[in-house]
Amino acid sequence: MAAGSVVFSGMRPTGRLHLGNYWGALKNWVDLSRDHACYFCVVDWHMLTTGYEETSGLQVNIREMVLDWLAAGLDPARCVIFRQSSVAEHAELALLLSMTTPLSWLENNPTWKEQLQELAKTKHGILTEPKKGKGPLEGLSEPSVQYGKVAAEVLSEQERKAYIDRSLRTSGFLFYPVLQAADILLYGGTLVPVGQDQLPHIELAREIARRFNSIYGQVFPEPKPLLTPAPRVQGVDGRKMSKSYGNGIELAEPPESLKTKVMGAYTDPKKIRAADPGHPEPCPENPPGCSIFALHKLYNTTWEKRRVECMEGRIGCVACKRDLLAHLDGPFREFREKRESIERAAGEVDRILDDGAKRARAVAAETMKRVRRAMRLA
Ligand code: SF4
């Protein structure tokens, strides 16, 4: 990795984080912050690009997420931790970059198209109740149209499309990669830790930077994606761990619910008795693989032995789950205690975010001076 790299990454404030968030991103942030200049941003404006209807829990979600960041090991003395909306320069730079970003780049962004389809299936395309005696779109206030019966069951394709267009086809949602480019470029971000699915956005950020530089002169370094292999974190139902599936284990999961989740987790449906040979890893006999084994791989240093024991029918699932709980006990207790101690220090999260915003604003202000000068705005 190049010396002097600046790392920028952001997370939408969705509240308490689960193991998938930790192993997929947060752990990498903590590692990177040890020897790089890092900016870690609570991207609350990004949250609005798809979640603009529901903002009542936003402040609580920010606080809960930052508490998890800190308890997981992010140290404000080693990195800048701040919220996007505290640094107005993100909005100014995004606006100026939008002047030079062709609309077609955003409309052809494959991630945007996929996200639109995905959200249409899971959130905005969903109705609470079909209203009797009315057209399906009549009488439904925006917030009431969130959870419940799938729109496809009650709406014609055309009606469904009209609703989705109205609620999701916002300029903010389409504009999201420009805001993301501004987030990165404001700090001269050269490395952006991302997953495979975010690669098109980083490519777009690179193109946005290149186009700006080609018109106004060299102002921005081109950011590069930093793909770090992350272990597969499986939810308790066998699918990928995700808040929207409700299959997660929170980093600060209390002991009782941790036990309930582990003891009820998906294993191998074909392994009924302890002596039955099991299929711990994804395979044709057990396509998702065993969720418990996936966690053993993360928290039990002797997981390879466990794989053999399972496959040879030398351990039953109940004993295997209890053993996993014993391995989880120490790390989870340590995390909860650290989180609680930060929480007890009154105003600590606000203080860290305010201090981070000050440090971020100082850098952002310098970048904006260069941008305004390059564009002859100053
Ligand atoms: S013994 Fe363990 S690894 Fe094997 S299927 Fe049961 S819970 Fe999974």
Q: Are 135 and 111 in contact (CB under 8 A)?
A: no
The second-level CATH assignment, the architecture, of 252-344 is Orthogonal Bundle (1.10)
For residue 123, give both structure tokens: 């959130």
> What number does the ligand 1 atom closest to the CA of 280 have?
3
For residue 218, count other CB atoms closer than 10 A to its CB.
11
229: alpha, beta or left? (left if phi > 0; alpha if psi -120 to 50): beta
The second-level CATH assignment, the architecture, of 6-105+172-233+347-374 is 3-Layer(aba) Sandwich (3.40)
Predicted pLDDT at 121: 61
Identify the three-state secondary structure at position 81.
Answer: strand
> What number does the ligand 1 atom closest to the CA of 268 have?
5
**Residue positions counted in the chain:** 378
- 40 sits in which H/E element: strand 37-42
Query: 317, 323, 325: which to mutate for ligand 1, most atoms within 8 A of CB?
Result: 317
Distance between CA atoms of residues 286 and 269, nearest Å: 8
Distance between CA atoms of residues 224 and 226, nearest Å: 6
- 9 sits in which H/E element: strand 6-11
Tens place of pLDDT per residue across the chain (378 aa):
445 689 999 999 999 999 999 999 999 999 999 999 999 999 999 999 888 888 999 999 999 999 999 999 999 999 999 999 999 999 999 999 999 999 999 988 887 777 767 666 654 444 333 333 333 333 333 333 332 334 444 555 665 565 555 566 788 988 999 999 999 999 998 899 988 778 888 999 999 999 999 999 999 999 999 987 788 799 999 999 998 899 999 999 999 999 999 999 999 999 999 999 999 999 999 999 999 999 999 999 999 999 999 999 999 999 999 999 999 999 999 999 999 999 999 899 999 999 999 999 999 999 999 999 999 999
If we measure between CA atoms, which residue out of 328, 282, 93, 321 comes closest to residue 189? Answer: 93
Predicted pLDDT at 167: 64
For residue 121, give both structure tokens: 């299936």
Place of tokens 């206030």: 141
Q: Are 191 and 5 in contact (CB under 8 A)?
A: yes
- Domain boundaries along the sequence of the chain: 6-105+172-233+347-374, 118-171, 252-344
Distance between CA atoms of residues 173 and 179, nearest Å: 10
Predicted pLDDT at 346: 86
Q: Are 233 and 20 in contact (CB under 8 A)?
A: yes
Query: 236, 320, 321, 322: which to mutate for ligand 1, most atoms within 8 A of CB?
Result: 320
If we measure between CA atoms, which residue out of 119, 163, 162 comes closest to residue 145? Answer: 163
Sheet order of strands, 6-11 included: 80-83, 37-42, 6-11, 191-194, 224-227
Distance between CA atoms of residues 366 and 139, nearest Å: 50
- Please list the residues that pair with 41 across neighbouring strands: 10, 82
Distance between CA atoms of residues 113 and 186, nearest Å: 26
Q: Are 20 and 202 in contact (CB under 8 A)?
A: no
Predicted pLDDT at 139: 38
Predicted pLDDT at 149: 39
Q: Show the beta-strand stretches assigned E in the chain.
A: 6-11, 37-42, 80-83, 126-127, 149-150, 191-194, 224-227
The binding-site residues of ligand 1, defined as CB within 6 angstroms of any ligand atom, are 267-268, 271, 278, 280, 290, 292-293, 310, 315, 317, 320-321
Cα R_g (the chain), whole angstroms: 23
